[in-house]
Structure 1
């Protein structure tokens, strides 16, 4: 699929490898507030991961699926803290190999497994997972199909956690077109979520808008991160100089001006009839 191929291309590239250097091993943004205004991008990304982990209703002996797992850090933290078994899937072969290496190095090879593949065609059985999340990943996949496939593999009553970047009232058509053409990303509004979940056989439990804790912070914190990790970035590619950094900052500015940020919790309905239709 064109969108998935483009996502794999992006995450296998230099850009995809720089992300975890700046974000402390994670592949998502962070959460800041007045009490943590000095937090680095990496520390804020870790904090957002902990917020998601706290919401997960999963425990020892249960299986959790990480849909778009990146380099695996967030999923491995969850497996450690909750004692669950975790399967992560990523369209990026680079991410899958590195996540597997990190799990082995951390002694988690018996609890955590990372798979190279598509979250739209999961190689897992129906109703086999007690929980899961899309952690800043679903907009690469297409919300409808991704939710239906997630619902297929979740057990009735299982909790699905998400972070997403919703469209705003002022989001420009130019930005939407740029996102589709450059990264094959498609975004939806906050208001679209209840119906999306219903059609996938799930019910909305909670939605929290944390735009003000994410978007105003990401550009200044990104600039700080590049200053701190400039040598590490250059070690990946000696040509990753000022032009490369400026391109990242411009992209993050563009996204922060046109998108919000939400955390969402949903539960698969007892029947899950819509997802299996």
Structure 2
């Protein structure tokens, strides 16, 4: 099936197959979090367990940018296997958390894996990020951990602004192009477009930091945190590419290596930066 015919990112289809086959590395590295890792130094050891720790570190950094103060209501949009909610569930009490995803398979796994701790509440909702079935001004934080490139950004920002209370925070991570790259990325990734489509599905990496600030202003928010962690994510690429070289499906492995290698090169040259961004909803804006 062509990636464009699937409602879900192709890498999740591959991951579900690997988990179902009992692939220990896939379960360890990606059974909780499905996103890039963050290392305090480049001293990654290349193991799945090390990658899991780095992914948890990334998750916590993004959540910290949301300035969460219990008791709080939190919406995690594009929640994957529930790793971010699991992390918050372990770190805090008195949270009411809602995990939202368009893929019911991911929600089913999340519900099986994450059990609310005492004092916390968790619900899972199958919905589109551009049309959140959530109350107006009902949330203290909205999270989008490494998934916003799959969303319609303007519609998602409008929805995030709508559901956040004044003073609430939207926190996200994204691959953000430098201004000189943004126009190029707006038309796709040139010769890498097919490999990226087959590997990561429909992605939009054309929103620069200035574009994000404009989106925020248009929806009654202001930039609160801009954390460039590009250098700390670089060991991710070696881990992902080394794993792909062991895949049985050589065609898919080749496309994955092309797409991921291109992103690695762009990141090393700082043409694309991995940014953690958070935005505060201004009190003067009506819900």
TM-score normalised by the chain length of structure 2: 0.78
* Deviation for aligned residue 1:43: 2.1
Question: 1-side partners of 2:62 and 2:217: how far apart?
Answer: 22
Q: Look up the SS of the partner of 2:273 in the other structure.
A: coil
Indicate if the aligned counterparts of 1:4 and 1:141 stay in contact, CA closer than 8 A.
Answer: no
Indicate if the aligned counterparts of 1:134 and 1:161 stay in contact, CA closer than 8 A.
Answer: yes
Q: Match of 1:186? A: 204
* Deviation for aligned residue 1:198: 0.7
Matches within 5 A, 1:226-237: none
Question: 2-side partners of 1:124 and 1:17: how far apart?
Answer: 32
Q: Match of 2:284? A: 271
Question: 1-side partners of 2:57 and 2:125: how far apart?
Answer: 26
User: 5+ residue gaps in structure 2?
Assistant: 20-25, 267-271
Matches within 5 A, 1:1-277: 6-8=6-8, 10=10, 13-15=13-15, 18=18, 21=27, 22-23=29-30, 25-34=32-41, 36-38=43-45, 40-83=50-93, 84-104=95-115, 111-168=121-178, 169-170=180-181, 173=187, 175=189, 178=193, 183-187=201-205, 188-214=207-233, 216-225=234-243, 240-258=248-266, 259-273=272-286
TM-score normalised by the chain length of structure 1: 0.81
* Deviation for aligned residue 1:75: 1.7
* Deviation for aligned residue 1:150: 0.8
* Deviation for aligned residue 1:15: 4.2
Indicate if the aligned counterparts of 2:224 and 2:280 stay in contact, CA closer than 8 A.
Answer: yes
Deviates more, 1:245-254 or 1:88-97: 245-254
Q: Deviations over 1:5-38 (max 9, x none)?
A: 8452536522466596333520110112436433
Q: Deviations over 1:62-85 (max 9, x none)?
A: 210101101101122113212212
RMSD across aligned positions (CA): 3.1
Q: Look up the SS of the partner of 2:283 in the other structure.
A: coil
Q: Deviations over 1:125-183 (max 9, x none)?
A: 10111112111111111211111101111111011111011123355655168279652
Q: Cα 1:223–1:143, aligned 2, differ >3 Å: closer, same or farther?
A: same
Deviates more, 1:185-194 or 1:86-95: 185-194
Indicate if the aligned counterparts of 1:65 and 1:133 stay in contact, CA closer than 8 A.
Answer: yes
Q: Match of 1:237? A: none
Q: Cα 1:126–1:25, aligned 2, differ >3 Å: closer, same or farther?
A: same
Q: Cα 1:51–1:36, aligned 2, differ >3 Å: closer, same or farther?
A: farther
Deviates more, 1:42-51 or 1:28-37: 28-37
Aligned residues: 260
Indicate if the aligned counterparts of 1:201 and 1:268 stay in contact, CA closer than 8 A.
Answer: yes
